[in-house]
Chain A
Amino acid sequence: MLSLHLKRILKSGGQNFSRNTFVSLSAVLIMSITLIVFSTILFISALLNQSLVEIQKKVDVNVYFMPTTSEDSVFEVKTNLENMTEVLAVEYVSRDQALENFKFKHQSDPDILEALFELEDNPLGAILNIKAQDSGQYETIAQYLATTYPTGQENSIVDDVNYNQNKEIIEKLTDVISSGQKLGGLITLLFIFLSIIITFNTIRLAMYISRDEIKVMRLVGATSSYITGPFVVTGVLYGIVSSLLTLILLFPLTIWIGPTTARFFYGINVSQYYMSNFFDFFLIIFFSSIFIGAISSFIAVKKYLKEARKRG
């Protein structure tokens, strides 16, 4: 009996979907547009996060050693730094490499290059480039360096730590990153909420057209589940068709906009991002739209059933 009931509910839901062509088309279209907006927010959120990671990667603290500091002492400092939990990585730049980098940087300035030739010895010391686990931890690392390896003293091995010069930029960036993440999260939540509301109201509107039908079904003696079931099936079908349509449309859309995002967001191409995360997108879009379709239909029909019960 249950399978017969289920078979009839599925059949009737399918008929609702295929026979009310205009209503189904409108619902699917609006749901698809909403899902595309929703996906765009997912893309923007991912692009921003990825960009912030890229920006974070560019921030570091540089320790400039005295030209007289031995390589062993530099490596000792490097090891000490690497043992700190706040430190993600330490890059060693030797004195020779530092000189090469300097020459390369100033290759178009013959006065500086000539001055270098005048000097008998390499005037530059080794450098350690330090990356922190988190941009908020540079302060701790800088403090450690200032306490353990003070500068400006007779026996100082460190000539300069450029944290203080970068301090303001680093702090500002830390603030931007943290507020960007918070704001991005809030905007994403807001848009997800709006998407749900729009989809819910679209389906409610589609069900509104059937409110008289619901009353007739009740009058003929149909149980609540027999009335609600087909409409929920129709809602699920709206969800399935619109999510598949969205997933297909996202291919050409992301291919079209991919080169632009790659130019503006540190080489991140949304098309490649979409392809490589397609399975996640499929799961999120497919199941969330089915869920919203089913729940919206259920709530809408319950409302009209209640109205029908009040009168009937």
Chain B
Amino acid sequence: MINFENVTKKYDDDTVALSNINIRILPHEFVSIVGHSGAGKSTLLKLILAEEMPSDGSVFFESEDIHTLRSSEITKLRQKIGSIFQDFRLIPNKTVYENVAFAMEVAGRTDEEVGEDVPYVLELVDLTRKAGNFPSQLSGGEKQRVAIARALVNQPDVLIADEPTGNLDPSNTYDIVQILKKINDLGTTIILTTHNKGIIDYLGRRVITLENGQVIQDDATGKSSFN
């Protein structure tokens, strides 16, 4: 489904974020990417979202080389990939309902579809009661659940989660991981980056360990040398 072929990413200041990466992610997988700050985890995700261009090599989504896509095709690609972030990235002047509906509206879905699907995903993340609230009126855990609902509402093939529990307490972290597991069980491929060893131990799924921009371990059973 997603293929990194000999990918190297150098930034303008000559920092090497990724060096000759080869990763293959299959449909329905739950892959965690671990590593210390600056290991290259976020750069890896940005390459999938076409937020960054590789300096060398190619990244494929299904059969398409992501970085040869035109601007309008990137927009379509992003509608197929749901993404959640540590800082939630919600639109502050839209309510919970509108934030989720926005993702459907930009995908050109009708008002009827929006009216059916948004309440459904809000129920899935247990936020029906907060549908009319603005992001500033929510806790960190609730904000992340809105972000998950927004990422899910277009039924994406892949969900990218960049340190989604980084700003949350243990209780909310557990809730979010449970939701991600549930989404994966329903068939969505999940790519999760995390610092939290407890999460990967709990998940027991494939873990890719990065260090200084290189893959140092790729274990299907959830083992990692990362501490």
Q: Hey, which bits of chain A sit against chain B, CB under 8 A?
A: 1, 4-5, 8, 15-16, 19-20, 212-213, 215-224, 226, 309, 311-312
A213-B91, A216-B89 as given contacts; A222 in contact with B49, CB under 8 Å: no
**Contact across chains for A213 and B92 when beta carbons are under 8 A apart:** yes
Indicate if the CB atoms of A220 and B50 lie closer than 8 Å.
Answer: no
Are B106 and A4 in contact (CB-based, < 8 A)? no
Known: A4-B111, A221-B78, A221-B79. A226 touches B106 (CB 8 A): yes
CB distance from A189 to the nearest CB of B (A): 38
Q: Say yes or no: is B198 at the interface (Cβ < 8 Å to chain A).
A: no
B83 at the interface (CB under 8 A from A): yes
Question: Contact at B83–A219, with CB atoms within 8 Å?
Answer: yes
- Chain A residues with CB under 8 Å of B102's CB are 217, 220, 222
Cα A219 to Cα B98 in complex, Å, equals 16
Given the complex of chains A and B, what is the CA–CA distance between A213 and B91 in angstroms? Answer: 6
Q: Is B227 an interface residue (CB 8 A)?
A: no
Task: Name 18 extra pairs, CB < 8 A, besides A20-B93, A217-B106, A220-B78.
Answer: A4-B111, A15-B93, A15-B94, A19-B93, A213-B93, A217-B91, A219-B49, A219-B83, A220-B79, A221-B75, A221-B79, A221-B106, A221-B107, A222-B102, A226-B105, A311-B51, A312-B50, A312-B51
A4 to B76 CA separation, bound complex (whole angstroms): 19
Interface size counted on chain B using CB atoms at 8 A = 29
Q: Do residues B93 and A223 form an inter-chain contact, with CB atoms below 8 A? A: no
Task: Select one of B49, B52, B91, B110 contacting A4, CB under 8 A.
Answer: B110
Question: Interface readout for B42-71 with A: 1 if CB under 8 Å, 0 if not?
Answer: 000010011110000000000000000001
Listed A/B pairs (6) with beta-carbon separation below 8 Å? A217-B91, A219-B78, A220-B150, A221-B106, A311-B51, A312-B46
- Select from chain B the residue with minimum beta-carbon distance to A312: B51
Whether A221 and B76, one on each chain, are in contact in the complex, defined by CB atoms closer than 8 angstroms, is: yes
B72 within 8 A of partner (CB): yes
State whether A223 touches B92 (Cβ < 8 A).
Answer: no
Q: Is the CB of A223 within 8 A of B89?
A: no
- Given A4-B111, A216-B89, A311-B51, A222 and B106 contact (CB-CB distance below 8 Å): yes
Q: Does B121 contact A (CB under 8 A)?
A: no
A-chain residues with CB within 8 Å of residue B108 when the two chains form the complex: 1, 5
Asked if B127 is an interface residue, CB under 8 A from chain A, the answer is no
Confirm or deny: B103 has a beta carbon within 8 angstroms of a beta carbon on chain A: yes
Q: Is B21 an interface residue (CB 8 A)?
A: no
Give, as a whole number of angstroms, the nearest-CB distance from A9 to chain B: 10
List chain B residues, Cβ under 8 A from A224: 71
Residue of A nearest to B107 (CB): A221
The residues in B between 134 and 174 inclusive whose CB is less than 8 angstroms from any CB of A are 150
Q: For residue A16, which residue of chain B has the nearest CB?
A: B93
Q: In the complex, how many angstroms separate the beta carbon of B121 from the nearest chain A beta carbon? A: 14
B90 lies within 8 A of A216 (CB): yes
Nearest chain B CB to A220 CB, angstrom units: 5
Question: Residue-by-residue, is B27-55 near A (CB-CB < 8 Å gives 1, otherwise 0)?
Answer: 00000000000000000001001111000
B107 to chain A: which residues have CB within 8 Å? 221
List chain B residues, Cβ under 8 A from A216.
89-91
Nearest 4 CB-CB pairings of A with B: A221-B78, A221-B79, A222-B106, A312-B51
Residue in chain B with minimal CB distance to A309? B71
In the complex formed, the residue of A with least CB distance to B87 is A212
Bound-state Cα–Cα, A58 to B149, Å: 79
Tell me the nearest residue of chain B to A224, going by C-beta: B71
In the bound complex, what is the Cα–Cα distance between A20 and B106 (angstroms)? 22
Highest count of chain B CB atoms <10 Å: which of A15, A221, A226, A312:
A221
